[in-house]
């Protein structure tokens, strides 16, 4: 495929990890604009190329604001390298008729693996045990606290999309009792459905967060929810940090009001709550649940197919993306 003319330029914001990994291959296929390689501030770079940009390819940590969208009169397509699209101004895209697509199910299995891994680590204190052994205090500290059995635990999944279903399948195989809450009841799912988070948490020992961050889910997991979960309850979050009220989560963990947490995402990334560093019942990872060799390769193929379709005026969304034409 030859490099498209300037009229079909694609602005890269981030850049996404997959772009850095496959930059040579991407650049051979498409006419990408790379603002981080120039000394210009982003707004000046965008202004210079505003008439040529028809698409944006962005990472999860690069906001696509109304201001950016309004400065690009020819913009027709925004493609995120992430599943979540809360960093994109969907209202402005809808107003302009701009299609927004995400990474679809590319990361679903890898993120589900991370959720299960975090949960096992928290309940079995694997990271805590690792620290104890490496600090050479094991022979002197023989009163290591008891851990918990995972099988038989009631796991409430918040959001039963592709990732949530993969998590449920894995945990059910391990003997967990699964239930869920979601925007709507899934007609072909046999797990018990609770219409509200409060009903779900009242029937759960563990909460796994795998829903999208929206106005409705922002701080949905608050102190009230955590206190119902209780002193032996565990929260795992592989979705978006702001779904949990992080300040209240830290308070509950420090006070021992919930049993533990496994967090791959945070409210103000890349900043971590330092109060959690010394807690053996908390496992923290740097938002890399989806970062595997296989996922990056699959995402590269996925992005290429969607950009090819866009530049050829073919229908979008047929390569695994979810489209967001509304709010």
**Annotated catalytic sites, by residue?**
240, 269, 287
| Contact present, 120 and 303 (Cβ < 8 Å) | no
Residue 261, strand partner residues: 235, 282
Instruction: Look at residue 238 and give its three-state secondary structure.
Output: coil
Half-sphere exposure of residue 209, counting CA atoms within 13 Å on the CB side? 29
Instruction: Look at residue 318 and give its three-state secondary structure.
Output: coil
Residues 6+ apart with CB under 8 A from 99: 76, 77, 78, 93, 316, 323, 325
The DSSP secondary-structure symbol of 212 reads P
Strand pairing report for 154-158 and 206-209: parallel
């Amino acid at each position: 495929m030859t490099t498209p003319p300037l009229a079909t330029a694609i602005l890269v914001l981030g850049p996404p990890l997959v772009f850095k990994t496959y930059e040579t291959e991407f650049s051979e296929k498409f006419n990408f604009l790379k603002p981080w390689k120039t000394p210009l501030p982003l707004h000046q770079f965008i202004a210079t190329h505003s008439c040529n940009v028809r698409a944006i390819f962005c990472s999860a940590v690069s906001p696509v604001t109304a201001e950016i969208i309004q400065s690009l009169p020819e913009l027709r397509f925004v493609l995120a390298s992430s599943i979540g699209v809360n960093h994109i101004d969907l209202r402005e895209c809808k107003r302009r008729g701009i299609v927004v697509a995400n990474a679809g199910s590319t990361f679903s299995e890898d993120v589900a693996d991370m959720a299960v891994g975090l949960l096992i680590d928290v309940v079995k204190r694997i990271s805590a045990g690792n620290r104890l052994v490496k600090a050479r205090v094991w022979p002197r500290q023989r009163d290591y606290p008891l851990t918990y059995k995972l099988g038989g635990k009631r796991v409430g999944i918040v959001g039963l999309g592709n990732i949530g279903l993969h998590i449920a399948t894995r945990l059910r195989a391990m003997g967990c009792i699964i239930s869920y809450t979601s925007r709507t009841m899934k007609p072909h799912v046999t797990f018990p459905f609770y219409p509200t988070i409060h009903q779900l948490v009242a029937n759960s020992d563990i909460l796994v967060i795998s829903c999208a961050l929206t106005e409705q889910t922002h701080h949905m997991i608050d102190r009230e929810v955590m206190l119902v979960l209780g002193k032996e309850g565990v929260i795992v979050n592989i979705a978006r940090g702001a779904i949990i009220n992080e300040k209240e989560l830290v308070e509950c963990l420090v006070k021992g009001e919930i049993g533990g947490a496994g967090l791959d995402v945070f409210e103000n990334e890349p900043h971590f709550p330092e109060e959690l560093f010394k807690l053996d019942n908390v496992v923290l990872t740097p938002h890399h649940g989806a970062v595997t060799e296989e996922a990056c390769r699959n995402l590269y193929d996925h992005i290429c197919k969607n950009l090819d379709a866009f530049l050829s005026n073919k229908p979008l969304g047929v390569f695994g993306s979810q489209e967001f034409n509304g709010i």
